[in-house]
Structure 1
Amino acid sequence: MRDYYEILGVARGSDEAALKAAFRKLAMEHHPDRNGGSEESASRFKEINEAYSVLSDPKKRAAYDQFGHAGVNGGQGGGGGPGFADINDIFSEVFGSAFGDMFGGGQRRSGPARGQDLRYDLEITLEQAYAGSEVEITAATAMTCEACEGGGAKPGTSPVTCPTCGGAGRVRASQGFFAIERTCPRCGGEGRTISDPCTTCRGHGQVRRNRTLQVRIPAGVDDGARIRLSGEGDAGARGGPRGDLYIFVSVRPHDLFERDGLDLHCTVPVPMTTAVPGGEIEAPCLSDGSPDDAENNRLTVKVPEGAQTGRTVRIRGRGMPSLRSRERGDLVVELFVETPTRLNARQKALMQEFADLCGDQQHPESSGFLNKARKFWEDVTGG
C-alpha cells in the first residue's frame, strides 16, 4: 500500500494548510465525474480521500507516523474523518454552477433576497418622441405585505424553526464514502416554517398591487429603446432591495412622417401650376411646443422651377433630436407633382395650347425616353 504522504505529494512535516491544499487540488483533478466516470480515476480519487482522512486527523496522523498503515486499522482511514467534510467543498468547486444544490453549493435562503425585475411595454407618439414628455403608467408590482410586514405569519404569531433541517435550510444524506447536501424539502431552504399564515398574503409576505408611476421620455427616443427605473420592480424578500422596472418603448407609426435615424421624411403634394414656374408651398413639421418654436408645426418650402415628382428639399435641423448630443437631424420633403383632373373644355384647350407652345424642348426626360423606345422598337422589328 502506498505511503499517504506520497499519495498527496507532500512532505512528512507538512502543516494542515499544505495538506488541505494538496488534497483539494488532487481531488478536483481525479474526480470520476470530471474524467468520464473512469474506474482508474475513481480508484485514485478514493485513495486520495483515504490519505487525507488519516493525515488531516491529528490522532490518526500520529498513529500513522509511528506505526504506518497498521496504526490506522489496516490502512482504512475511517468514514468519519475530516476528509469527508471537506469533500463537499470539493464538489462545490467542481459542480457549483450546475449542481450546487445537490452537492452543498447552494446557500440557505433565509437572508434578504433582491426583488424581480419587471418589464412594461409603452407605446408613444412620434410627437412625444420628438419633444420628450412625462407619461403616467400603471404597473402591477409585488409589495411587502403591510399586515404581516413581510414575515408571512399571521399578525401576533411568528415563523418557527423547521423541524426537518433544524433551521439550517439544508439536509444531508450519506451515500457511499461521501455526503450529499440538498435543500430542505419542507421549508424550501428558508430554515423556518409558518404554521399560521397571514390571511392577507397567504404566507408569501408579499401582495401584488397596481402602482402609478411617472416616466420621463427623453427627447429623441427611438423605437425599441429601453428605459430603466431603478428600484421600481418587485419588492425584495425578507427585507431585500427592490428589483428594477424596464420600460420598452415603441413609437406608433405616423400619418405624415417616417423616421430614418435622426432624419424625418415627408411627402408633400405640389400643384403642377406651382411646380412648373416654381414657387412656395407649406409643409408640416414637428414642434417641441415651446414658445421659442416660432415656426410651430408648418414650414414654407421653396419649390424650384420645373420640379419633378421625387425631387427632395432638405430643411436643416428640423428632424429628430439626438439623445446623446445637441445634434438634430433634417426634415426631408419629397415633392409629388399633381396633375390636374376633371378639366372643362376651356381648360383642356388651354392645356393643349400650352403643350403646342412648349414642344419637345420643355420635356427633356420624355425626349430621352422616346429616343430609347424608338431604338428598342427598331431592334425588335428589324426595321
Structure 2
Amino acid sequence: MAASSPGAFAPAPALLAAAAGGGPLLFRQLFDAATGTFTYLLADVPSRQGVIIDPVFEQHGRDLSLVQELGIALVASLDTHAHADHVTGSWLLHEATGCAIGLAAAAGAENVTLPLAHGDRVGFGQRVLEVRSTPGHTNGCVTYVLDDHSLAFTGDALLVRGCGRCDFQQGDAHTLWTSITRQIFTLPEACQLYPCHDYTGRGVTSVAEEKAYNARLGGSATERDFVGHMEAMKLPHPHRIAEALPGNLRSGRPRQPQPAVSWAPLQRSYAGLPELTPAWLAAHRADVAVVDVRTPEEYHGPDGRIPASQLLPLPQLEARAAELPADRPLVLVCHSGSRSALATQQLLKAGRPQVANLRGGLRRWTDEGYPIEAEAPLPEA
C-alpha cells in the first residue's frame, strides 16, 4: 500500500491487528459545517501510520492536505455507517493514498476492501481500534474504540445528549438501546465519546455525562422510556438522502470520473492554498510565469533568484497586477513561501484562477539543487 506523502513510513501489510499497543497518538477533529459532520484523524506518532474516520466527499482536499502535511501514511478510511446525510470521502482517499476502505460488512456496500464485524481490530502502527457493532440507527453501525479505552467514535449511534434516529434504514429503537447500553455505556466512565454529527458546536462528551444527562436514555430512563421517546419523534428525512445513500453504498465512488486540474498537479495546503513543488516547476518552467514577490534588495542579493523570474514586490502587487503575464499560469515565489502564499491568496481573490505558490520557496528550490541566477559580485576597490 502506498504511503501518502514522500518520506512517510509505509503502512504495515496487516490491517486487522492481533494486539493493542500504546504509543503516542496524534488526534485531530475536523468539521464540515454544511452537513454538521465530524471527521477524525488518528495516527501513531512513531510509525506515522494513521486512520481517518467518517470523511466527507466535499472535504477531500482538506483531509488529504492534512494527511500529506503531517506525513501520515494512511492505512484505512473508516466509516461508522452508511450515512444518509453526506457522501463519504473514502473512495477519493483510497484513490489518492492506496488506503483501505473500512465499513461494516452488514452495510452491504460496494468497493469496501476492509469489511468489518464486531470484535475486529484495525491496527495502525502500535495503536489499535476495536470494532464494536452498535446497530439500531442502521444495521451497519459500528463504534470504534481506541485500544486503551480513552476514546470512542460512536458515529450516529450515540450523539452528544442524543442519539441517531430509528425510523428508517433498518432502524430499531430496542436494538439501539441495547447497542448503547451494552457496547458504549460499558466503557470506562472517563472514556471520551466523539460523535459523527452535531449542529450546535458540541464536539465531545463522555460515558459518564451521557449516562447522567442524555435526555433519551440517561439518568433513570428505562428501555420503555427510550423506545417511547424514539417512536414519538416526527422527523423529516435528511434532505440529501437520495444522493447520499446510493453514494455511500458505492463507498463514495463517483458515477463519473472527477475532472482533473487542467494546468498542473496542484497540492492544497491544509490552509487551502494551491501549491506546486520545485520539481514540477523545474520540469515545466517554460509553461508558466514565475513571479518573485521579495524586495528588490533580496531579488538582486546574494540569495539569487529563479532564472527568468519577474520581480514584483508584495506591497506593490495589487497596484501593478496589470504587469503580470495574462497568457500563462503564475507561480509565486519568495524566500520561504510565506510572502508568496499571501500573494497567491490576493491574486485568487482578484479573480486570477491559474495561480499557485511554490512550496518551500526559493530556499527549498535551492536545497533541491535547482539553478539559481545571481548578480555578479562587485570588484573590490
TM-score between both structures, scaled by the size of structure 2: 0.21
Which has more radius of gyration? 1
Greater share of helix residues, 1 or 2? 1
TM-score (norm 1): 0.21
